[in-house]
Homo-oligomer: A and B are copies of this chain.
């Protein structure tokens, strides 16, 4: 077997920023740098800026001979093809198929693998986080959207076409009044349990009740999930009940996911998890109430320990070793 080179590069390609980091085999980020993702109108401009950003980092650690590979985590990325397909949040990829892995590989002459951001998060948990030693677990990312990375038998689930693991778009409400989701369908988990879903729940509850709340000090149209978190942390009952409802919906959904792959743990990642037990307790309780008897009391519900580290860069970097 050929000897591995000492470093990999992890790339966290988000809607706002794209962060490049050099990572060693122990998961230390030696140096990092970033560009603004949305500043570029074409994929070529974006790649050129990315290459200009990462080249100095590569030189700093001794040149490309020291780099085993590059792993990119990006929205709507396909592991099999190395392409980003129809990514609504990326100007230069929202209406087509961008062969981003090949584009970086051609410029840098280093092997590049790409996967979607939630799958990268799952790899990060498996190598450096809450899932060390686990072979069956599901990471659920609670961000602007709801994403997921599913690991079964120690392997990420990509599915037949590379797009598996879209648990944010499992429907949890089949009624006609179900919320419209960004994907154009109704009743998706994401419409309720993402940061935007939480803000929407807040607006609905403020409109539907007279319950006093710190949230009433804000213009409802500007309320964000962070406002709900802050109010809840101050003991605001209405804000707390929003987290309870969100957690209950997540727990019900996880009960269905357990019937699919019977994981050892669900690992939650993202700003909403900072609410701690306010959201984790209803997740657990609603899961246990809703799950098939055979699965009761068996599953761990964990918050990612990597949220304050650069988990997305770490997770993506894991692909660079392959």
Chain A residues proximal to chain B, CB less than 8 Å: 85-86, 135-136, 150, 152-153, 155, 157-167, 169-175, 183-185, 252, 255-257, 259-264, 290, 292-295, 298
Contacts and interface: CB of A to CB of B under 8 A. Distances in A.
A29 to B, nearest CB: 30
Contacts of A170: 256, 259-260
A136 B152 contact: no
Contact of A163 (B159, B166, B184, B262): B262
Instruction: Give the oligomeric copy count.
Output: 2
Contacts of A295: 161, 163
Contact of A171 (B155, B161, B290): B290
Q: Top 3 closest A-B pairs, CB basis?
A: A159-B262, A164-B262, A160-B264
A159 B294 contact: no
Nearest to A173: B174
12 contacts: A152-B155, A157-B261, A160-B263, A160-B298, A164-B259, A164-B262, A169-B259, A170-B256, A171-B256, A174-B252, A183-B292, A183-B293
Contacts of A184: 293
Given A171-B256, A184-B293, 20 more contacts: A86-B294, A135-B160, A152-B153, A152-B159, A153-B153, A153-B157, A157-B261, A158-B262, A162-B262, A164-B259, A164-B261, A166-B259, A166-B262, A166-B294, A167-B260, A172-B174, A174-B174, A175-B175, A256-B256, A257-B260
B172 A292 contact: no
Contacts of A159: 136, 152, 261-263
Nearest to A135: B160
Contacts of A259: 164-167, 169-170
A169 B257 contact: no
A261 B257 CA distance: 11
A263 B160 CA distance: 5
